[in-house]
Amino acid sequence: MKRVLKLLVTFVLIISIGMVGTGCGSKNNNKKVLNVYNWGDYIDESVLEEFEKEYGIKVIYDNFATNEEMYIKIKSGGTSYDVAFPSDYMIEKMIKEGLLQKIDYNNIENYKYISDNLKKLDFDPTSEYSVPYFWGTVGILYNKTMVKEPVDSWNILWDSKYKGKILMIDSQRDSIGVALKKLGYSMNSTDPKQLEEAKSELMKQKPLVLSYVGDEGKDMMIGEEAAMSVVWSGDAVYTMSENENLAYAIPKEGTNYWFDSVVIPKTSKHKKEAELFINFLCRPEIAQKNAEYVGYSTPNKETMKKLDPKLVKNKALYPNEELMKNSEVFRDLGDSIKLYDTIWTEVKSK
């Protein structure tokens, strides 16, 4: 969905020799192949090399920029990725549409290292189709020298004294979700009346907004061009490391609590190798490499013991239960997503 470091790299990364483009074919004679489809810059490349060396399996690695891009490519059936990394609501949608295979957890011995409270979540309630890879939150990144009052509510994004100093995230689910939470509604609301109220809030806020941003928002906050920005937690951790005046807050009304997980598409032709790879990713020292490289929160409880204690104590990365109160995971909205499309188009165009 998102993400700091993912969006730093937008080009396709080709790991294998002789492969270009689709990532789903091979000239490699009899050598086993694993086709992996992941967000940009969302894995430590040395992990792929280590897997290839240990198992003698060539990894063909492609990137996507959005869940929707990944979904369309897999649903079209023109490719046969063996492993993909969609987000929560998209996993739910893909399960409903029969696009994923059940995982044989007997082959994922290292699944035992995944924290129990991060299993059997609503998007995969029986934990049959997905293994958590990273998780995080959405919150407010703010400059302590510009914002003197407590940042504990989404309401501050509507404070007129910050006119021209507010950055909103250029994401319809997240921005509409912020407005819904401000109003006390669910971020997964499909109620037309509630969504109309959320649109009104965003229209009221628009004159205060400096810009709707993606990856460039990080540099703007580091450069102190804005006082506040709605960001994903990984972006927050990165930008705070670049400017000590920045801080991150999760509003008391609650926020989005998101997951990216590993799945096996129905079209996979190498399920055995896919499960071997997933098990490899769950190995604590491998998950540590990825957590330190990517910068997001690991779901692996053994890996957490290996990380720098400063990272684990960082509440932007690992918020406590109190901070997460009222937070929720995005759900698949079915046809109601069209309402979100319409609202976001109107907000951005007027």
Residue set of the binding site for spermidine: 89
Residue type, 92: E
Q: Return the DSSP state at 269.
A: S
Between the alpha carbon of residue 116 and those of residues 120, 128, 132, 292, 312, the distances in Å are 8, 14, 11, 22, 17
Output the known binding site.
Answer: 89
Residue type, 20: V
Phi/psi at 248 (5° precision):
-125, 135
Q: How many CB atoms lie within 10 A of CB 47?
A: 20
| Separation CA 307–CA 291 (nearest Å) | 8
Please report, in angstroms and rounded to a whole number, the separation of the first and last CA atoms in the chain: 26
Please check whether residue 67 is in contact with residue 1, taking contact to mean a CB–CB distance below 8 angstroms. yes
Please check whether residue 146 is in contact with residue 173, taking contact to mean a CB–CB distance below 8 angstroms. no
Do you know the residue count of the chain?
350
| Separation CA 315–CA 143 (nearest Å) | 17
Residue at token pair 């074919």:
25
Tokens at 3, concatenated: 């993400």
Q: Return the DSSP state at 199.
A: H
| Separation CA 344–CA 211 (nearest Å) | 14
Residues 6+ apart with CB under 8 A from 103: 128, 129, 130, 131, 263, 264, 275, 278
| Separation CA 93–CA 250 (nearest Å) | 27
